[in-house]
Amino acid sequence: MHKRNILLTSLLVVLYGCQPGAPAQQVIAPAAAITSTAVQPATLHHAATQAANAVVSMEEGTELAKKIGCFACHSIEKKLLGPSWKNVAARFNGNPDAEIYLMNKFLNGGSGAWGSIAMPGYPHVSEADRRTLARWVLSLK
């Protein structure tokens, strides 16, 4: 089952451009690489606290998600391959570490939190864009 999910994810990346410019064989990173590149909450806590009131507009968040290729697997309102972003926002509502958690998910990918289909990591996306995307997703109600 796990191999099938990896193959499906790789096919989607190739067909729909979930990860532009990256060869398909680099879509799923080994577990060692995922843990070694994670952003630590303590590192970002101060910066996140300072900018906690930063608002990301619907237009800005939507355009960034389109640019990255997120709409190939996600939508705002309904589950596609991945969860709807409104469901993600609802799950993390009130969680002070949600922004950092989502930034790490965008960076490293993962599976198991929402089902068996793996999400590829997006290491080519800047920290600022990952933060903007996380704030936008969390703002959806």
Interatomic CA distance for residues 43 and 4, integer angstroms: 36
pLDDT at 3: 53
Q: How many residues does the structure list for the chain? A: 141
pLDDT at 97: 96
What residues does 83 pair with on adjacent strands? none
Report the CATH superfamily, name and number, of domain 2-139. Cytochrome c-like domain (1.10.760.10)
pLDDT at 63: 96
Of the candidates 49, 83, 77, 40, the residue with the CA atom closest to the CA atom of residue 62: 77
* Predicted TM-score (pTM) of this structure: 0.65
Domain ranges of the chain: 2-139
- E strand map for the chain: none
Q: Residue 63 CB: number of other CB atoms within 10 A?
A: 12
- Tokens 């080519």 belong to 124
Q: Is the four-CA dihedral 70, 101, 27, 21 of positive or negative sign? A: positive
104 contact partners, CB below 8 Å, separation of at least 6 = 38, 39
Distances (CA, A) of 10 to 15, 48, 85, 110, 117: 9, 33, 22, 13, 11
* Residues of the chain where predicted confidence (pLDDT) is lower than 70: 1-53
